Structure 1
Amino acid sequence: MTAPTFHSVADAERLAAERLAPDVRDFVSGGAGDEVTLAANRAAFDRVSVVPRSLVDVSGHDTGRELFGAWSSMPLAIAPMAYQRLVHPDGESGVARAAAAAGVPNVLCMLSAEPIEDVAAAGGPHWLQLYWLKDRQVVADLLRRAEGVGCRAVVLTVDVPLMGRRVRDLRNGFALPPDVRPVNIGGDVGERRAGDSAVARHTSAVFDPSLKWRDLDWIRERTRLPLVLKGILHPEDARRAVESGVDGLVVSNHGGRQLDGAVPSLDALPDVVDAVGGRCRVLLDSGVRTGVDVLRALALGADAVLLGRPVLWGLAAAGRQGVAAVLDVIRQEFETALRLAGCRDVEDARRLRTVRA
């Protein structure tokens, strides 16, 4: 396939929409409930203006930063996203190869259609994302396997005690095709029922909604890897997480796919950053679409962002090459925005002032 030319992430989104089946397109792009939070995530970015600095020598600049022991070419990692092979045969391995080539970390998703060993073999720094499962042995095995493939961190998603009510999937009676399965944990996600979601049924069967703070100790006893909690929005939860010794947080409302009506992640970010007080890394996801969005998140205190749906749009549009093209667009946009804002590096960006409309 010829490498695509994207001038913006929106170009990839349009091409992906043409190539995906309607129910798959809805699964990727949809949110929970009336999708109020899904829309609010994007609106939150549009309300933030950055105040550039002037008369700064930006002839030399550096867009990279260290994230959990590895250097990233941008303050960005690929978000964990389930069943990437659903949108293109290149799947998780294709995304991983594009991330490695771009020099950014890739978060291996527990709900992957490929074994984490195969995805990690693509190279580059990678982290493992986990959900809290009823079968603890599966979780323990995944932690062991994560260390075996050289993961640099464990990202525990804490905002899915049960799956949000995703109306598009219910209307479509969404289920996975026979060649896409949660190979790392097992289970049936392929039985199609009218008015029901096979993905939600699988979640209900295998996820444990009893996750508590003391369960973090169980994870620490089974891995030496840094622990990151994904799905933190309340500053008190952020403070307690730091006190419990976590190494990082992801301020996230799951891309608007869990609690509809939840605060936009970007709006929650400054209070979480204040609560953390520099004691651990703070990342952000949900709504990031451009390199300017990356700059906005940094200016509001984030150390880095996770990029989600744009990666899937690139994958759907043109496989691994499409992901590479999306990452290149974000890189160009971020580098341009960084320099136009009078910043020489990521830390300069984190000292920028912002104005909210």
Structure 2
Amino acid sequence: MEIKELKKIAKDRMKGYCRLCKECNGIACAGEVPGMGGKGSGESFKRNYETLKNVKLVLKTIHDVKDPDMSVEIFGKKIDLPFITAPVTGNSINMGGFLTEAQYSDYVVFGSIEAGTFAMTGDSGNPQFYIDGLNSIKKANGIGIPIIKPRENMKIIENIKKAEETGAIGVGIDIDGAGLLTMALHGQPVGPKTVDELKELTSSTKLPFILKGIMSVEEAELAVEVGASAIVVSNHGGRILDYTLGVAEVLPKISKAVKGKITIFADGNVRNGVDILKYIALGADAVLAGRPIIWGAYGGGKEGVKLIIENLKEELKQAMILTGCKDVKSIDSSKIINLNKQF
């Protein structure tokens, strides 16, 4: 199967929930939450797209880089490229329901592994969806990371223990899910967390703990303070708060403040391998993406997910060769021109 065919099948199966636009810029699906769009006007989704587009690569072809090393190590596990599948749940709510949650979880977990990386699984207003993700990780001998919604701490700790039982690589919460509409629709209490509450969570487990949804230097520094192992710089795909900055705008300052103190992931409108290089050059250690993986799962199941990631890998390899990057550590700000205004 080719990418073009996979996307056509996915579009048919997603029943209008995602139009698979030529440019995934958040315009056509603005306000479609639940659904695949951005909150309200869709400006946060659009800004992720626009600000990442404003990062340009510096073409370099006088060098000896012909076979770059794309591998990185995350929480002691080596993966073939600095890319991890983002946590996504709610097939029946957001994607048209062609797949069950259990099917989707299996496809992304095993498709990611076969492509040389691993997946994060998610949580939802339906607690069974979290369990479905855990079941997939357990079947994969713990190769995966479950991400939990910011429920009451007691509930989160219960879910952390369940994650530990699967042998998972790590665990975390998408703290920006505090305002997620789909949770409110299902009567699931979520909300912000205090520093003390976060310290309780990080101290409750020996697993690497991730805070997903960090968009400021201040909160990145607080993540270090509370003992988190990693942050995901993300505005939740523009799905929780209108008119935020884009990930590409805030990442450089966050990286400058906490690089080396905590692992930094970036998640925002990654659609090809060039986008991975851009985010690494802006300061990320690795990159997440959700929507392309959804297309892969809906268009071709496990093999579709594998195809999407392998395509990202090939695009990243070409981008590294044509910018003179022999390995991921060689990807830095000298390989890009950032046209975004810095805040």
TM-score, normalized by the shorter chain, greater than 0.5 = yes
Residue 99 of structure 2 corresponds to residue 115 of structure 1 = no
Residue 284 of structure 2 corresponds to residue 302 of structure 1 = yes
Extract structure 1 runs of 4+ deviating beyond 3 A.
11-15, 23-28, 84-87
Deviation at 1:351, TM superposition (A): 5.1
Q: Which moved more, 1:67-76 or 1:119-128?
A: 119-128
Q: Distance in 1 between matches of 2:261 and 2:275?
A: 24
Q: 2:180 aligns with which of 142, 148, 163?
A: 163
* TM-score (normalizing by structure 1): 0.82
Q: Distance in 2 between matches of 1:131 and 1:306?
A: 17
SS in 2 for 1:161: helix
Residues 282 and 332, structure 2, Cα contact 8 Å, conserved in 1: yes
After superposition, the CA RMSD in angstroms is: 2.1
Residues 199 and 227, structure 2, Cα contact 8 Å, conserved in 1: no
Q: 1:225 aligns with which of 207, 218, 229?
A: 207
Q: Residue in 1 aligned with 2:56?
A: 49
Distance change (3 Å), C-alpha of 1:6 and 1:280:
same
- Aligned pair count? 315
Q: Residue in 2 aligned with 1:176?
A: none
Deviation at 1:349, TM superposition (A): 1.2
Superposed CA offset, 1:64-121 (max 9, x none): 1001111111101010001347342531111111011012121121232753442111
Q: Which moved more, 1:120-129 or 1:94-103?
A: 120-129
Q: Residue in 1 aligned with 2:11?
A: 17
Q: Residue in 2 aligned with 1:190?
A: none
Matches within 5 A, 1:197-276: 200-202=184-186, 205-276=187-258
Q: Residue in 2 aligned with 1:180?
A: none
Residues 43 and 243, structure 2, Cα contact 8 Å, conserved in 1: yes
1:107 partner amino acid:
M
Q: 2:99 aligns with which of 80, 84, 88?
A: 88
Matches within 5 A, 1:1-12: 4-6=1-3, 12=6
Distance change (3 Å), C-alpha of 1:239 and 1:117:
closer
Residues 67 and 321, structure 2, Cα contact 8 Å, conserved in 1: no
Residues 177 and 190, structure 2, Cα contact 8 Å, conserved in 1: no
Q: Distance in 2 between matches of 1:210 and 1:266?
A: 24
SS in 2 for 1:241: helix
Residue 314 of structure 2 corresponds to residue 332 of structure 1 = yes
Q: Distance in 2 between matches of 1:77 and 1:124?
A: 15
Q: Distance in 1 between matches of 2:131 and 2:148?
A: 15
Superposed CA offset, 1:38-71 (max 9, x none): 1111111211112244432123321110011111
Q: Distance in 1 between matches of 2:299 and 2:337?
A: 35
Matches within 5 A, 1:186-205: 200-202=184-186, 205=187
* TM-score (normalizing by structure 2): 0.85
Q: Which moved more, 1:269-278 or 1:107-116?
A: 107-116
Which runs of 5 or more structure 2 residues have no equivalent in the other structure?
Answer: 20-31
Q: Distance in 2 between matches of 1:110 and 1:269?
A: 25
Deviation at 1:15, TM superposition (A): 3.7
Q: Residue in 1 aligned with 2:166?
A: 149
Residues 141 and 167, structure 2, Cα contact 8 Å, conserved in 1: no
Q: Residue in 2 aligned with 1:58?
A: 65
2:77 partner amino acid:
A
Q: Distance in 1 between matches of 2:114 and 2:192?
A: 39
Deviation at 1:340, TM superposition (A): 1.2
Q: Residue in 2 aligned with 1:130?
A: 148
Matches within 5 A, 1:309-348: 309-348=291-330
Residues 57 and 335, structure 2, Cα contact 8 Å, conserved in 1: yes
Deviation at 1:13, TM superposition (A): 4.3
Superposed CA offset, 1:150-202 (max 9, x none): 112122111122225xxxxxxxxxxxxxxxxxxxxxxxxxxxxxxxxx65411
Q: Distance in 1 between matches of 2:320 and 2:292?
A: 20
Residues 84 and 312, structure 1, Cα contact 8 Å, conserved in 2: no
Residues 105 and 132, structure 2, Cα contact 8 Å, conserved in 1: no
SS in 2 for 1:261: coil
Residues 202 and 226, structure 2, Cα contact 8 Å, conserved in 1: no
1:6 partner amino acid:
I
Bigger RCO of structures 1 and 2 (CA < 8 A, at least 6 apart): 1
Deviation at 1:282, TM superposition (A): 0.8
Which runs of 5 or more structure 1 residues have no equivalent in the other structure?
Answer: 165-197
Distance change (3 Å), C-alpha of 1:45 and 1:14:
farther
Residues 253 and 265, structure 1, Cα contact 8 Å, conserved in 2: yes
Q: Distance in 1 between matches of 2:297 and 2:130?
A: 14
